[in-house]
Amino acid sequence: MFRILKIATVLAVPVLMAACAHPITLKSDLDKISAVQTSQKIDKSVGYYIDPASLNAEVTTPGGGGDKVKYSPYQDIEPGFYKVLSNVFKDVNRLKSPQEKELITKYDISLIFTPIILTNSSSPSPLTWPPTKFTTELTCKVTDKNGQLIVEKKVVGDGAAEFDEFKRDHSLSARRSTEDLLQKLQKVLLETPELRK
């Protein structure tokens, strides 16, 4: 009987290990988001809104070795999102609601940005859990101060890292994905004519 229990325990350990969700971060190096020349900036005050449920959400996606990774995409990406908006526009404010009229009036906010973030990750490795590939998709809905849709833009960031790179930084592919996403987002916003009207 003892032997059967011992075997069952040994078999259960890999199953439990395979079910692990390891914490990583999507936070990127903000210095890698290039500055914008003053002549390119859009002379508007804007706001952005992230609902509390999204801001506090923890997401789990696949890693390697049958394991998974967990992270908070909105919390991790928000500082970079704010920096991109600050680079592109004259002034940026975070809103507590998309209809926060007092702040919208006080700062003469003309555009409101609402980001929607989707993520995915993967790794073919049977031995290591950090993801070798990471994808971050951000759809940015832009409305005027009355809630009327102005434009909607989607950008996708891709990040990759191999074992020799991520053995000291398990979040490397995720952070590279965020950096790629934010650089693309900045370029798209600068090139969107609807935001300059």
pLDDT of 69-114, one tens digit each? 999 999 999 999 999 999 999 999 999 999 899 999 999 999 999 9
Q: Is the pLDDT of residue 16 over 90?
A: no
Q: Are 100 and 158 within 8 A, CB to CB?
A: no
Distance in angstroms (rounded) separating the CA atoms of residues 149 and 133: 33
**CA quadruple 101, 105, 111, 117: dihedral sign:** negative
Q: Are 24 and 67 within 8 A, CB to CB?
A: no
Residue 155 is predicted with a pLDDT of 98
Query: pLDDT per residue over 170-191, tens digit each?
Result: 999 999 999 999 999 999 999 9
**Angle between the N-to-C axes of helices 73-88 and 172-190, in degrees from 0 to 180, rounded to the nearest 10:** 30
Q: Are 120 and 93 within 8 A, CB to CB?
A: no
Tell me the domains of the chain and their CATH numbers.
21-196 (3.30.160.150)
Q: Which residues are within 8 A (CB) of 51 and not within 5 positions of it... i.e. 6 or more apart?
A: none
Residue type at 121?
S
Query: pLDDT per residue over 132-143, tens digit each?
Result: 999 999 999 999
Residue 19 is predicted with a pLDDT of 54
Instruction: Tokens for 64, please give them.
Output: 């390697």
What is the average pLDDT across 28-36? Answer: 93
